[in-house]
Amino acid sequence: MKILLSLAAAISLAAIAAPGFARADENATIIPAPAVDEQPAGTSETAILSGGCFWGMQGVFEHVKGVKRVLSGYAGGAALTAHYGDVSDGDTGHAETVQIIYDPHVVTYGQLLRVYFSVAHDPTELNRQGPDEGTQYRSDIWYTNAEQQKIATAYIAQLAKAHVYAAPIVTRVDAFKGFYPAEDYHQDFLIHNPDYPYIVINDLPKIAALKRLYPALYAEKPVMVAENK
């Protein structure tokens, strides 16, 4: 695994030297709040989101107020292939994904999507995010009920109509098929490896953008998987 991670770091460092490369925080901007949002009922709901490498996705949402736990994992494929080695081949149907458990009275599903579209990833990149390429890095919202589907599709239409992005939004909205937690070494990877080159280049700027753009949603102390099993 050390060899694999070193290779990923080398690729990231090479990518930032390439012409036209944009840092992860350069595209982060405040976007309109969703016009359609959930009506909180209970005290615990689940959001399932894919948007590139789950290290950064997990790291961002662990800093959102009202979030109770964020797990890195896989969604979109079969249980048999829900393993990092298989998913990395890009042909399992899986996407690197995060499962977010949250209190809707503190942060709503729509607010989570606002962070997702604005800070956590670039919804205009098709089957890639930054230096990572492949369908396993696609932008995908996995709705677990009709209300989530309605909120997600309405928000994408709202952002498209407002011309928030220069390019079309390519985020998919798919029915939830199952979530499979990733291997233990992926959980809280950003927190445990803040100096890792990939994290420094691609993910820490996203957390800084969350704090800068949405201070009311930002939690200084992240929730950790190890503390919330």
The candidate with the shortest Cα–Cα distance to 65, out of 229, 215, 189, is 215
Q: Annotated catalytic, 221?
A: no
Tokens of 108: 């709503």
Give the strand order in the sheet containing 67-75. 172-175, 139-143, 45-51, 95-102, 67-75, 179-181
Of residues 28, 31, 49, 53, which has the active-site annotation? 53
Tokens of 105: 């009275």
How far, in Å, CA of 113 to CA of 78, rounded? Answer: 26
Q: What ranges in the chain are assigned the alpha helix state H?
A: 2-16, 54-61, 84-87, 109-115, 146-161, 189-192, 197-198, 204-213
Contact 77, 87 (CB under 8 A): yes
b/e for 126-157, b at 16 or more Cβ within 10 A?
eebbbbbebbbbbbbbbbeeebbbebbeebbe
Q: How many CB atoms lie within 10 A of CB 224?
A: 16
Q: Which residues are catalytic?
A: 53
